[in-house]
Amino acid sequence: MPIAASPSSRSSAGGRALGVLAAVVLVVALVALMVNIFRGDDGTALPETSSTTTTTTVPVIVSEIFPTSVKASSQLSDRFGPENLIDGDPETRWNDDGLRGVGAWLEFTFATPVQITEIEFQNVTDDEAFRRNYKIQGYTITVNDLNVPISGRLVNSNEPQRVRVASVETYTLRIEVTTTHLAEPVDNNPPFDELALEEVRFFGVEK
């Protein structure tokens, strides 16, 4: 009888296994190729294409701000007017009109809107005049752009004293005296009846 031909290697079990192995190797190679496409040469992932934005904070430069004018509730005389508070001269000062500071107020005006961050109060630097005059103790500060008054207290000292202030864009600033440090006699010299203040300085940002 005729002899049947032997099955080809493709139809044998070994051939099928070899085909499966080749298919697995091909899939692995394709996966590796795709990974390399989406990764950098050094094995790190490439950055995403979506854009990101960065914000830069501009520092606020605080400097001295100079008011254009000042008014007061009263003054002892023309020599002791409130304009002495903004003239930069340590030899001049403002005195109220013998009220011992009761109900005294000062109102400063600026030419352009300003953001005030600090106020510096300077009592009379001359030691004898400092002691013989009344000084600001309690105060209330208001600005025209905010409705919340700022209250505080100054110590009984003739060293400069800075206080924090909150404003955004203000044209005017008002200081009202609520309490005072008492005047006292010096040697044989009696105390004065007036409230005295030598200088007021402002710091912040001009708009």
Angle at 83 between CA 80 and CA 88, to 5 degrees: 100
pLDDT of the chain, 207 residues: tens digit per residue: 455 455 454 445 555 655 655 665 665 566 565 655 555 444 444 455 455 565 665 567 889 999 999 999 999 999 999 999 999 999 999 999 988 998 899 999 999 999 999 999 999 999 999 999 999 999 999 999 988 899 999 999 999 999 999 899 999 999 999 999 999 999 999 999 999 999 999 999 988
The structure tokens listed for 7 are 């099955």
Residue 149 pairs in a beta bridge with: none
Strands 170-181 and 69-72, bridge-based pairing: unpaired
pLDDT at 153: 97
CA distance 191 to 179: 17
pLDDT at 74: 97
pLDDT at 111: 95
CA end-to-end span of the chain: 114
CA distance 34 to 32: 5
Residue 153 pairs in a beta bridge with: 138
Task: Kindly provide the b/e burial profile for residues 89-124, where b requires at least 16 CB atoms within 10 angstroms of the residue's own CB.
Answer: eeeebbbbeebbbeebbbbbebeeebbbbebebbbb
pLDDT at 102: 85
Domain limits, the chain:
13-47, 63-206
3-state secondary structure of 78: helix
Q: Return the CATH number of the domain spanning residue range 63-206.
A: 2.60.120.260
The structure tokens listed for 145 are 């752009």
Residue the block writes with tokens 């309490």: 179
pLDDT at 31: 59
CA distance 195 to 104: 8
